Each structure stands twice: as structure tokens, then as C-alpha cells.
């Protein structure tokens, strides 16, 4: 048995009662305990002069005692002891409440390190209840300068917790098996596990802490990344998927299209086709910028499934998108006498019943719909292919709910959010990746400008000119309504301004998150059908909604959005014949913001833009948009550890290629850990 899997009861002072309590807060083994890492550290290195000591924080300084202690009673039963200090930059006091003893041991004119809470009040400086350690031979004389601070766990006292950790380290010392073998650690510059566990809790110094943290972050990301890749490999090797045969329809369909496929479309279709024709279960992510032509690829896959006698389902997040796909697919697949239906929340009870019957009886070949598809009454006769579009709106669970309605159906997940490769590998490491990185020909580039507030009027003048020529426009704002807390323009306020200016001539609508679902769909339909000329909105305008006549977008306070998000917004224009424009108003006046936004003016490449965004802002946005069902990290933190992640990924890919990997005993510990890592976090069944 691995030492870390010993129960906490092997520790001194942990009897049955305490063990039970620890279990209730999720700590059963030594591993559970030792992998509760400190939340932060107190830097007790004496980095501050007295003049710099920060008010309200625990901090340390090095100072001389410049007088004898004075103790006075401040209230009944309360004493306050003060010792004057100086270090040449400022004067102040060390003060102790109800503790005259520490102060009495200090020598007048002696030099000490003081560490405690800093209070500055009306020109006076105090360090409260400090530790005081005599300076002997410079800073070296002071040990243990970095102290761990743990998050509160249940009702355990911090001291108690620290003692248990120390106990666990002692018990485990010399008996820890490293799940990462020596040669691997040497190759990637990783310290051994004993060193790391010791130093993550009680760092000898900053360097050791950094090394310990690097390894533990590496280990955590590696378990996840390698685990995902391993699952993908296992799924591939298992071969329990449906084998779709070659069908004659495909070529005819491609010829029937009014355009020829782009090289990228051909490539991803070949990848998908290969998966479908093999006996492995397809689990593939199809990424492609807005307008890159994912729908045709989906149509090809659905057609192939149908011609093999299987049913296909396409799930999208909104009714409007479902309708749009339904119209497109019934149009382009009209030659194949397939039965295609649309199932959304708007279907009447009668319609729904009929569709349910059609799905259960197998009359319906292709069903397109919203969440309605995963409702209980929906049962398929022979579901063979599941496609979800704009996947970031669906959690893994919703996807698995649909997948569970078939027996090992192939899965294709489509997304218009370009995700940098490093993140895609860890968020979707269990999936194969297909990328459409080429736009259909003849697409005009959206001319993009970054301007300051001073020329806003000119921008709106230009927008009005487009309206006059019969085009439609979007104006996007970061806020719904004005607030004193944020200095930015709101949709309501901009809508009112523009209404006053333009309402005689054009019809404007306001759209934001507080507008109800039904009204929202109506507003979108009016805009799509040209009854409305201009839409003033927050970022709620639908991804993927196609209004080719809308050719201009103005984004207010564009500095408040991430680049990837701006690019997504911009994707609403540039879908028609006429030249399109996107005007980004920099409301901050900041030069940095300006040059950041310039990336958009210069590039149309979603992947490049999202890479830049990742460098500039970290991956919060990407993680935020998906309820990914992945475990929370206990030490890794992705904005910070993205470089480590890249090393982890190349290590994981390399190990995966190693033909001896599974046979070599030195990796047993790792395999064991991966299994418990994924068990504990209960990765949804559909993914594995
Ligand atoms: P998205 O990837 O955003 O879902 P769509 O599939 O909706 O993109 O395609 C956007 C538009 O481009 C549609 O009008 C579609 O007919 C057209 N299109 C798709 N592929 C091609 C192509 N190879 N050549 C020309 N136009 C294409
Ligand atoms: Mg689409």
C-alpha cells in the first residue's frame, strides 16, 4: 500500500473521533492531508523599512529597540506594553496586549526582526503583538521566514492543522514512492516528491518553495492532461463504435452545393468520415470561426448517418438557431427524401407528440432542436450521431444526456470559439480536434477601426450613412444601464440618445439580458427580417445568427471586452455582399488599450486573436464559458501556470507515444493516481 494512502489515524493524536471528523471534511488519507496546500504564505523576510510598513497587513521589519518597555493598564484586566523602535527611516512602537513578558526580554539598543500586524493611526506606527527575533549574524540567522497560511477547514484550528501536516511529513519521510520516475523528473527538471511536500508546507526558502510548487503544479496538470489523453486512446482502441459504410449520396450532395468546399472543409470532413467509418466511437471537436462553414460539414455527417439507417440529432442552444439550421438543412438536403424535423419549446403538445412518435418509430431521420431534445419523453429508435453546435453553452452533462439516448453514437461538437491549442488540449483533451482555419473565398474582410471618444460623432455619422443606403447596424455596449460604479456607456442610455436622433427615419430596438426570452426572439426575428434597422444591445446578440444585410457594428467602451470576445461580436457583420465595418470606441483613452485593440484592426484570424488574448488576459474567459465538468485544481492556476502547462503537454504527448509505457513497472504509481484522480472527480460517463 502506498504510504500516502494510509489513513490519517496513523498519526499521533488522531483517534477515532478526530478521524471521523476529518472524514466529514474530506480528509481520509495522508495524501488528502498533505495535498491541502497552503492558500498563501506570509513573507516573514524583512522586506520593509519602518517607513514602508503597510497599514492593516502582517509584515516584518528590522529595527532597533530605542527605549525600555512601558506597561499600562488600559481597562480592567487589560494591559498594554509598548517598546519604542526605530530603523532610521521612521519611529514607532511594538505593542503587546496582556503580555509584558516578551518586551522585557528585549535589550535596549539591540537589533531585532519584528513581525506582526501593522497599524498606522494619526501619524503613529504600531506593530501589534509581534514576534521578535534577535538579529545575530545578518538575515541568515533567521530561519523559517516563509510561513504557510491554510484556508480554514471545518472547525480545525490553524495550529492543529499545521501540527497534523508536520506529523504526516514525519510519518511519510523516507517512505514516499514518487509517481514520477527519476529519469522523467530529471528530464523535466522536477524535484522529488519528498522535497516538494516538505517545502510546499514549510519552505526552507523562496527558491525551494518555487521548485516545490513547480513540481506539484506540473504533477497536477500532468495527471489531468495525461489522463484525458489516455482515455481518448483507450476509447479509440476499444472499437465499440458504429461502423458507417461508404454511401453514394455524399458525392452527389457535394456537387449539388452552389459552391465547392474549401480545402479546410474537405480536410475536416475527411477526418470525420474516417472516424465514422471506423469502429471507434467518434468524439470530435470541430472548431471554426463564425462563417467558416461548419453547417455543411454537419450536413455531410448527418446525411451519412441517415443513409446508413441511423438517426442523427443536432442540438443548438436557442430556438432561432434551431430554426435557422432547420431551414438550411432541409434546403441543402432536399434531394435525398429524408425526414427532417424541428423540436423546440414552441412546439405545441400535439406536434411534440407526433415528433416523439416519429423519433421512437424511426420515421424521422434527422432531428434538430434545443434542450427539448434531451427531455425524458424523447426516445430514439436508432440514434447513431449526435452533433451539438455552439457547444460552450452546453455542459458536458447535457451532451452526455443526449448521447445516452443511443448506444455508442458518434459525437461531433461544433464551436465557433477559437480556443488556443494549449487550452483546447486540457479542456477537450479527451476529444480529437478538427479545425477549419480557412474562410470561404470572396468573403470581404470586415474593416475595423479603433477610435477615441472625440470622434464618436463622426463614427455615428458614418453609421447613419450606411442606414441611408439600406443597410442595418448593431451598436454594442458593455452595460445594460448606467451605474455610478462603472464608467462606461450603457445600452439603455445609448439607445435613448440614438432614438432621439434617428427615430423619425429609422426603427431602433433595444436588446439586453433582462429582455425576456420570447420578446428577445421576436426582436431578433424583426431584425433578421429587416423590419428593424438598428439593434442597440449588450453582448447578448446571438452567436451564429445570420443577418447578411447588417454591415456595421459600433462597440462602445470596447476596452472593456477581451479580444476574443470582440472578435466574436464582430462576426455578426461581414456576412453579406457589401463591405462591412466594425468601429471600436476606446472609452478609456489609454494607449495600452488602444494598441491591444489594434490587433483586431490588423487581423481577422480568430486563433491568432485568441492566442493574443490568452497572453494578455489569461484563460479566465475560456474556462468561464464552459461548465466543463473538470476537477477544480488544488494548486495549479491557469493564468499563472500556462507555461508549465505547455511543458506538461509536450511531456504527456511524448509519454503517450512510448510503446513500453504501459508495461513498465515504474509507471504503476502514475496509472494508479490517474485512476483515483478521475474517479474522485467523477468525470461524466459520456466523456469516458
Ligand atoms: P458557421 O461555421 O458559422 O456555422 P455556416 O456554416 O453558417 O458557418 O456558413 C456561413 C456561410 O458560408 C453560409 O451562408 C454558407 O452557405 C457559406 N459557405 C459555407 N461553405 C462555403 C464554401 N465552401 N464556399 C462558399 N460559401 C460557403
Ligand atoms: Mg453555425
Residue 381 resides in a domain: yes
- H-only helix segments in 377-448: 396-403, 421-427
What cell does 94 get?
A: 511594538
Using the atom order of ligand 1, give the atom closest to the CA of residue 297.
6
Tens of pLDDT, residue by residue over 251-284, are 889 989 999 999 999 999 999 999 999 998 898 9
Question: Longest Cα pair distance anywhere in the chain, in angstroms?
Answer: 99
- What DSSP string runs through 550-605? EEEEEETTGGGS-HHHHHHHHTTSS-SSS--EEEEEESS--HHHHHHHHHHHH---
Please check whether residue 615 lies inside any domain of the structure. no
List own/partner pairs for 257-266 with CB under 8 A and 24 or more apart. 257/296, 257/332, 259/440, 261/293, 261/296, 262/293, 262/436, 262/438, 262/439, 262/440, 262/441, 263/438, 264/288, 264/292, 264/435, 264/436, 264/437, 264/438, 265/293, 265/296, 265/297, 265/436, 265/438
**Cα dihedral 197→202→207→208 (10° resolution):** -30
82 and 108 assigned to the same domain: yes
Residue nearest to atom 22 of ligand 1 (CA): 440
The pLDDT, as a whole number, for residue 139 is: 41
Q: Is residue 413 a part of any domain in this protein?
A: yes
Q: Does one domain contain both 328 and 426?
A: yes
Q: Which residue has the cell 532610521?
A: 88
Cell of residue 76, nine digits: 480592567
265 lines ligand 1 (CB under 6 A): yes
pLDDT-based confidence at residue 686 (cuts at 50, 70, 90): very low
Q: Is 268 in the pocket of ligand 1 (CB under 6 A)?
A: no
Q: Indicate if the pLDDT at residue 627 is higher than 70.
A: no
Write down the pLDDT at residue 628: 43
Ligand nearest to the CA of 287: 1
- Work out which ligand 1 atom sits closest to the CA atom of 294: 2
Q: What's the chain's length in residues?
A: 688
Residues 63 and 167 in one domain: no
421 occurs within a structural domain? yes
550 and 582 both lie in a single domain: yes
Residue 302 CA to ligand 2 centre (angstroms):
15
Q: Answer whether 327 contacts ligand 1 (Cβ < 6 A).
A: no
557, 489 Cβ separation under 8 angstroms: yes
> Is residue 212, in this structure, part of any structural domain at all?
no
pLDDT 10s digits, 86-107: 999 999 999 999 888 889 889 9
279, 379: one domain: yes
Q: Specify the residue with its C-alpha closest to ligand 1, atom 17.
A: 293
Encode pLDDT of 611-622 as tens digits: 888 777 665 555
Rounded to an integer, the average pLDDT of 504-516 is: 90
Interval between CA 377 and ligand 2 midpoint (Å): 27
293: left (phi over 0), alpha (psi -120 to 50) or beta: left
Residue at 522 is within a domain? yes
Do 491 and 531 share a domain, yes or no? yes
Nearest to 283 by CA among 181, 409, 405: 409
Q: Which of 110, 143, 176 is the last residue of a domain?
A: 143
Indicate the top mutation candidate among 291, 415, 575 to test ligand 1's pocket, ranked by most ligand atoms within 8 A of CB.
291
Report whether residue 669 contacts ligand 1, using a CB cutoff of 6 Å: no
Does residue 457 sit in the same domain as residue 547? yes
Distance 510 CA to ligand 2 centre (A): 24
Read off the pLDDT of residues 384-414 as tens digits, 9 standing for 90 and up: 999 998 766 555 666 677 778 888 899 999 9
Which one of 603, 635, 670 terminates a domain? Answer: 603
Q: For ligand 1, is residue 553 a contact (CB within 6 Å)?
A: no
Question: CATH number, domain at 417?
Answer: 3.40.50.300
If asked whether residues 413 and 542 sit together in one domain, one would say: no
Predicted confidence (pLDDT) at residue 624 exceeds the cutoff of 50:
no
Q: What is the pLDDT of residues 230-256, one digit of tens each?
A: 888 877 777 788 999 998 888 889 989
In a domain, 219, yes or no: no
Among all chains, which residue has been given the C-alpha cell 483507450? 234
Q: Which residues of 34-43 are buried (b: 16+ CB within 10 A; e: fewer)?
A: bbbbbeeebb
**Among 565, 583, 603, where does a domain finish?**
603
Same domain, 430 and 451: no
Closest residue to atom 24 of ligand 1, CA basis: 440
Residue 419 has pLDDT above 90, yes or no: no
How many domains are there within the chain? 4
Q: What are phi and psi of 475, to 5 degrees?
A: -125, 125
Whether residues 387 and 267 share a domain: the answer is: yes
d(CA 376, CA 378): 5
CATH number at residue 56: 2.40.50.140
Q: Do 255 and 350 fall into the same domain?
A: yes
Quick: pLDDT tens for 129-147.
Answer: 998 877 764 444 344 467 7
Quote the cell numbers at residue 25.
471534511
Q: What pLDDT sits at residue 619? A: 59
Ligand 1 pocket member 227 (CB < 6 A): no
Indicate if ligand 1 lies below 6 Å from the C-beta of 291. yes
Residue whose CA is at the smallest distance from ligand 1 atom 15 = 293
Residues 281 and 425 in one domain: yes
User: Looking at the DSSP assignment, which residues form a beta bridge with residue 96?
Assistant: 81
- Average pLDDT, rounded, for the chain: 87
Q: Are 284 and 271 in contact (CB under 8 A)?
A: yes
Tell me whether residue 654 is in a domain: no
Q: What is the CATH number of the domain that holds 172?
A: 1.10.150
Domain that holds residue 340: 248-436
The alpha helices in 89-156, defined as continuous H runs, are 101-104
Distance 685 CA to ligand 1 centre (A): 34
Amino acid at each position: 500500500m502506498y504510504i500516502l494512502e494510509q489513513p490519517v489515524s496513523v498519526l499521533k493524536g488522531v483517534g477515532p473521533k478526530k478521524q471521523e471528523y476529518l472524514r466529514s471534511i474530506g480528509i481520509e488519507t495522508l495524501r488528502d492531508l498533505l495535498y491541502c496546500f497552503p492558500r498563501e504564505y506570509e513573507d516573514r523576510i524583512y522586506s520593509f523599512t519602518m517607513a514602508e510598513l503597510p497599514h492593516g497587513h502582517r509584515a516584518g521589519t528590522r529595527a532597533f529597540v530605542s527605549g525600555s518597555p512601558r506597561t499600562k493598564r488600559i481597562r480592567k484586566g487589560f494591559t498594554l506594553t509598548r517598546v519604542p523602535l526605530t530603523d532610521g527611516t521612521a519611529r514607532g512602537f511594538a505593542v503587546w496586549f496582556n503580555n509584558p513578558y516578551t518586551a522585557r526580554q528585549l535589550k535596549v539598543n539591540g537589533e531585532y526582526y519584528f513581525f506582526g500586524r501593522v497599524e498606522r493611526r494619526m501619524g503613529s506606527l504600531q506593530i501589534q503583538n509581534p514576534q521578535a527575533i534577535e538579529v545575530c549574524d545578518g538575515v541568515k540567522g533567521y530561519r523559517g521566514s516563509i510561513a504557510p497560511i491554510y484556508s480554514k477547514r471545518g472547525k480545525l484550528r490553524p495550529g492543529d492543522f499545521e501540527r497534523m501536516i508536520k506529523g504526516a511529513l514525519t510519518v511519510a519521510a523516507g517512505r514516499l514512492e514518487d509517481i514520477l520516475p527519476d529519469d522523467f523528473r530529471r528530464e523535466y527538471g522536477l524535484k522529488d516528491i519528498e522535497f516538494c511536500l516538505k517545502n510546499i508546507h514549510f519552505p526552507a526558502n523562496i527558491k525551494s518553495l518555487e521548485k516545490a510548487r513547480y513540481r506539484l503544479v506540473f504533477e497536477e496538470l500532468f495527471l489531468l492532461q495525461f489522463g484525458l489523453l489516455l482515455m481518448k486512446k483507450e476509447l479509440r482502441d476499444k472499437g465499440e463504435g458504429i461502423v458507417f459504410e461508404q454511401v453514394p449520396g455524399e458525392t452527389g450532395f457535394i456537387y449539388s452545393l452552389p459552391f465547392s468546399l474549401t480545402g479546410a472543409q474537405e480536410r475536416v470532413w475527411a477526418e470525420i468520415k474516417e472516424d465514422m467509418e471506423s469502429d471507434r466511437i467518434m468524439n470530435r471537436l470541430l472548431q471554426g470561426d463564425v462563417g467558416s462553414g461548419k453547417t455543411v460539414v454537419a450536413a455531410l455527417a448527418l446525411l451519412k448517418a441517415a443513409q446508413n439507417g441511423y438517426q442523427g440529432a443536432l442540438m443548438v442552444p436557442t430556438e432561432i438557431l434551431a430554426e435557422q439550421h432547420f431551414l438550411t438543412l432541409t434546403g441543402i438536403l432536399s434531394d435525398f427524401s429524408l425526414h427532417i424535423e424541428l423540436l423546440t419549446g414552441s412546439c405545441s403538445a400535439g406536434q411534440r407528440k407526433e415528433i416523439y412518435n416519429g423519433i421512437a418509430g424511426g420515421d424521422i431521420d434527422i432531428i434538430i432542436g434545443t434542450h427539448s431534445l434531451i427531455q425524458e419523453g424523447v426516445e430514439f429508435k436508432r440514434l447513431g450521431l449526435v452533433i451539438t453546435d455552439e457547444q460552450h453553452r452546453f455542459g458536458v452533462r447535457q451532451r452526455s444526456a443526449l448521447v445516452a439516448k443511443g448506444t455508442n453514437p458518434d459525437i461531433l461538437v461544433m464551436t465557433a470559439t477559437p480556443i488556443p491549442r494549449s487550452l483546447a488540449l486540457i479542456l477537450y483533451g479527451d476529444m480529437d480536434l478538427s479545425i477549419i482555419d480557412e474562410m470561404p473565398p470572396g468573403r470581404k474582410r470586415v474593416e475595423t477601426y479603433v477610435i477615441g471618444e472625440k470622434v464618436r460623432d463622426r463614427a455615428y455619422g458614418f453609421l447613419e450613412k450606411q442606414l441611408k443606403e439600406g443597410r442595418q447596424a448593431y451598436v454594442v455596449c458593455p452595460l445594460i444601464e448606467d451605474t455610478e460604479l462603472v464608467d462606461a456607456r450603457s445600452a439603455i442610455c445609448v439607445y435613448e440618445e440614438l432614438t432621439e436622433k434617428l427615430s423619425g427615419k429609422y426603427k431602433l430596438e433595444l436588446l439586453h439580458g433582462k429582455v425576456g426570452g420570447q420578446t428577445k426572439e421576436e426582436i431578433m426575428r424583426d431584425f433578421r427580417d429587416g423590419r428593424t434597422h438598428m439593434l442597440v444591445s449588450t453582448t447578448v446578440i446571438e452567436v451564429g445568427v445570420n443577418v447578411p444585410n447588417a454591415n456595421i457594428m459600433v462597440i462602445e467602451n470596447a476596452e472593456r471586452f477581451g479580444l476574443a470576445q470582440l472578435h466574436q461580436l464582430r462576426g455578426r457583420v461581414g456576412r453579406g455582399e457589401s463591405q462591412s465595418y466594425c468601429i471600436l470606441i476606446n472609452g478609456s483613452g489609454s494607449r495600452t488599450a488602444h494598441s491591444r485593440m489594434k490587433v483586431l484592426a490588423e487581423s481577422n484570424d480568430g486563433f491568432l486573436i485568441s492566442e493574443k488574448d490568452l497572453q494578455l488576459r489569461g484563460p479566465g474567459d475560456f474556462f468561464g464559458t464552459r461548465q466543463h465538468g473538470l476537477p477544480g485544481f488544488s494548486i495549479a492556476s491557469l493564468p499563472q501556470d500556462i507555461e508549465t502547462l505547455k511543458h506538461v503537454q509536450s511531456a504527456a504527448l511524448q509519454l503517450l507515444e512510448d510503446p513500453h509505457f504501459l508495461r513498465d513497472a515504474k509507471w504503476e504509481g502514475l496509472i494508479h493516481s490517474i485512476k483515483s484522480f478521475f474517479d474522485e472527480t467523477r468525470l461524466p460517463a459520456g466523456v469516458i
